[in-house]
C-alpha cells in the first residue's frame, strides 16, 4: 500500500472543521506531493518547467514552481488544470528540487 493511501485514511479519520484544511490534511497532502514528485523524477519528468504533478488526494493537486516565482510558473500549461477549473480547491507547491514552498 502506498504511503498516500495510508495518509489519506488518517486525514479522513482526523476530520476537520472550519473553512480551510486542517494541519493533518495539509501534512497528508505534502506527503502525497512528495510521493508524486519522486514518481515523476523516476519517470524523467523535467522539473525546471514547473509541471503539474496531478491530483494527489481528493480536492488537492501538486504543482512544481519556483521560489521566487518565475514567468514560466504562471503559464497555464504548467499549472494544474483541476485547480484552474475549480475542480480542486487546494494545492501543494514544491520547488524543482522537491522542497515545500506552500500548501494551501
Domain boundaries, the chain: 3-103
Does residue 49 contact residue 76 with C-beta atoms inside 8 Å?
no
pTM above 0.75, yes or no: yes
Please give the span between the terminal C-alpha atoms of the chain, in angstroms, as a whole number.
26
pLDDT score recorded for residue 36: 98
As beta bridge partners, residue 37 has: none
Q: How many helices (H) and strands (E) does the chain have?
A: 3, 4
pLDDT score recorded for residue 97: 98
In which band, very low, low, confident or very high, does the pLDDT at 75 lie, cut at 50, 70 and 90? Answer: confident
Helices (H), 1-104: 3-14, 23-42, 81-84
**Would the pLDDT of 70 be above 70?**
yes
* Calpha distance 33→36 (Å, rounded): 5
pLDDT score recorded for residue 17: 52
Tell me the mean pLDDT in the region 61-69.
96
Amino acid at each position: 500500500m502506498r504511503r498516500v493511501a495510508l495518509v489519506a485514511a488518517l486525514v479522513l479519520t482526523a476530520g476537520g472543521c472550519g473553512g480551510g484544511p486542517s494541519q493533518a490534511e495539509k501534512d497528508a497532502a505534502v506527503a502525497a506531493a512528495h510521493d508524486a514528485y519522486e514518481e515523476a523524477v523516476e519517470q524523467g519528468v523535467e522539473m525546471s518547467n514547473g509541471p503539474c504533478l496531478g491530483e494527489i488526494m481528493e480536492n488537492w493537486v501538486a504543482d512544481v514552481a519556483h521560489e521566487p516565482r518565475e514567468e514560466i510558473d504562471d503559464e497555464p500549461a504548467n499549472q494544474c488544470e483541476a485547480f484552474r477549473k475549480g475542480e480542486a480547491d487546494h494545492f501543494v507547491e514544491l520547488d524543482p528540487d522537491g522542497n515545500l514552498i506552500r500548501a494551501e
